[in-house]
Amino acid sequence: MTSQPPIAKRVPSERVHHGDTVVDEYAWLQNKDDPETIAYLEAENAYTEGATAHLGTLRETLFDEIKLRTQETDLSVPTRKGGFWYYTRTIEGKQYGVHCRRAVAIGEVDPPSTQHGAPLAGEEVLLDGNELAAGKEFFALGTFDISPDARWLAYSCDFDGDERFTLRIKDLLTGEVLADEIPNTFYGSAWSADGSTLFYITVDEAWRPYRVWRHVRGTTAAEDQVVFEEPDERFWVGVDLTRSEKFIVVDVHSKITSEVHVIPADQPASPPRVIAPREQGVEYSVEHHGHRFLILHNRGAEDFALAYTSVDTPGADWTPLLEHEPGTRLLQVDAFARHMVISLRRNGLTGLRVMPFDGGSSYDIEFPEPIYSVGPDANPEYDTATFRLHYGSLVTPESVYDCNLETGELTLRKRKPVLGGYDPERYEQHREWAIAEDGTRVPISLVCLRDTPRDGSAPLLLYGYGSYEHAIDPWFSIARLSLLDRGVVFAVAHIRGGGEMGRRWYEDGKLLAKKNTFTDFIACAEHLVKVGWTGTDRLVARGGSAGGLLMGAVANMAPDAFAGIVAQVPFVDALNSILDPSLPLTVTEWEEWGNPLDDPDVYAYMKSYTPYENVADRAYPAILALTSLNDTRVLYHEPAKWVARLRATAPDTKVLMKTEMGAGHGGPSGRYDAWKEEALVNAWVLDLLGRAS
């Protein structure tokens, strides 16, 4: 440990784009194999450890609070598929889940009780993450896919955090792991109808999933055949099996354009057949139902509409099934034998609409809370009258319901236990609306102790993201209770660039409108101060990944609005990364941020907001940055360069950086390790806000 912050060496490196010469003195940190790079990261870790040593007791207390409130030995609600109930167990003291199943008993309709978290009688362990992770610093499961006949399990593991998985096949009848072993695969797989063939995905050198392969069980990877290859670097490829188990779906999509191909699941050697050729700007997804494909699309429908087309001639006209309704964003369609369920978003909240196929009346599933999040859960059965959904809010723990599709009746199967006498009545939720620079109303969700004063004295943690149409819907957090119980208000700014208010909300926060994301967040912070929720000296902002870009941008644009900033795996060197097509994800990102390599206007616009380019000698709020050495989505060098420049340019800034030396984009993989990191963040926040005691 050291009391002096590390100072990175400066090695000027020039780049010129569109006549603009820029000196990047910390570009050398991009060399992960350079011992000096590792030494610098380790020095930062040592400095952070020393600078937070006084929080050791608080960190332990916060970790213990998470642990004591968590039912460590627990069981997910079993999901029926065919003749089995499938579920995952956690065990006290173990980092990872255990994947299991149990045969359905004769006459059994409802899922077995999971109240006490004990293993079910007759349990069959399919995969134990703790055994797979033994001796490893990191472990993540990618694919977990059981064949239609319930005999074969395809699973893949990553032991570094770089999201490169090795795929294997297990015989669930004998317990044998086959010799089939396929390295460097991506998420996603699909079995043929008879379980003889497995489809999987690999990535190119830029980490883009671009090839679908066909693997015949029992053969070697060298014998596998490419089924589909996407040459356009803007597009990603996915593969899945329809719920009906009739078709393998090859999904090809960029940020704004889609193309879907299908293969009959009982004819795995057949070539893929396109549903509709790609059309720039048109997105669509496919769900199979009987003699037709359901098409969720945005062709002439900004917030999406639902149509159907014939399985035999899918390229023909699409027949409307649910017309476009501006302001109601259709997100997903789940088709079953007699019903379909539409996931949607309206007025900043998620919803579910049930539509019978027999012409009966449709209905929306209703919930009583003013702020909540609801969506589909696991629903693998096609011929069913039950729909499983998950529900939660800022005060209601994660809940699993079964909905009777015929009657709309909801049955609560499980609410995540919160030990220690948790009482939701101690807390209250609020919805505020900030006014952005251009007059747009921006929603804010808040949770706090009941009767929290509105005189500006309460500390507040404001979370934000605002990219990729990803909505930050209200969610429950056990770790957050430690903040709330110490009087901290927690708020989420539902800013443009996200998807909370429909497709237009997203469009107005990307490309050359990206600054709306940042100014919306600042407007939310200012509103919360103005109406008395907090004060600028007791307001901390937090965001990760693209939300980390948000953190860096608002630190430059409005440093006086915040007392502190937590930036996790932050995309703070966005311009340099988006200028380099050889880096992971860059080309696919051009439809989100613009292409600064070819467009001088995009270059100038990005340069005007990207955090690393705009660090200046000013008074910054305190900053805590967290990153991971093996992150392939936001490379570690982005926060490393940012912190190095902050130290050199604004030396009075209290900035700390912690690098996980054996993890990826999601940070530590084990649940206890993740709790420890959350305890560090929350301890730092509480200390900054004067609530550490």
Catalytic residue IDs: 545, 631, 665
User: For residues 434, 439, 442 and 447, what is the CA-based torsion angle, rounded to 10 degrees?
Assistant: 10
The answer to whether the CB of 324 falls within 8 A of the CB of 300 is: yes
DSSP-assigned letters across all residues of 392-420: E-SSSPPEEEEEETTT--EEEEEE--BTT
SS3 96: coil
SS3 679: helix
Residue type, 244: S
First to last CA, the chain: 24
For residue 42 the two structure tokens come to 């380790």
For residue 346 the two structure tokens come to 């309206």
Taking alpha carbons only, the member of 217, 199, 219, 218 closest to residue 209 is 199
The answer to whether the CB of 235 falls within 8 A of the CB of 229 is: no
Q: Phi, psi (5° rounding) for residue 85?
A: -100, 125
Distance CA 532, CA 555 (A): 22
SS3 239: strand
Taking alpha carbons only, the member of 359, 355, 368 closest to residue 405 is 355
SS3 111: coil
The answer to whether the CB of 403 falls within 8 A of the CB of 365 is: yes
Q: What is the 3-state secondary structure (H, E, C) of 122-154?
A: CCEEEEEHHHHCCCCCCCEEEEEEECCCCCEEE
Distance CA 186, CA 271 (A): 21
SS3 637: helix
Kind and range of the H or E run holding 60: helix 56-69
Q: What is the Cα Rg of the chain in Å?
A: 25
Taking alpha carbons only, the member of 563, 511, 672, 570 closest to residue 93 is 672
What are the percentages of helix, strand and coil residues in the chain, rounded to 5? 20, 35, 45
> Can you tell me which residue has the tokens 């396929």?
182
Give the number of residues written for the chain.
Answer: 693
Distance CA 454, CA 540 (A): 17
> Can you tell me which residue has the tokens 């101690």?
426
Q: What is the 3-state secondary structure (H, E, C) of 520-536?
A: HHHHHHHHHHHCCCCCH
Indicate left, alpha or beta for 545 from its phi (over 0: left) and psi (-120 to 50: alpha): left
Distance CA 160, CA 630 (A): 7
Taking alpha carbons only, the member of 258, 213, 250 closest to residue 232 is 258
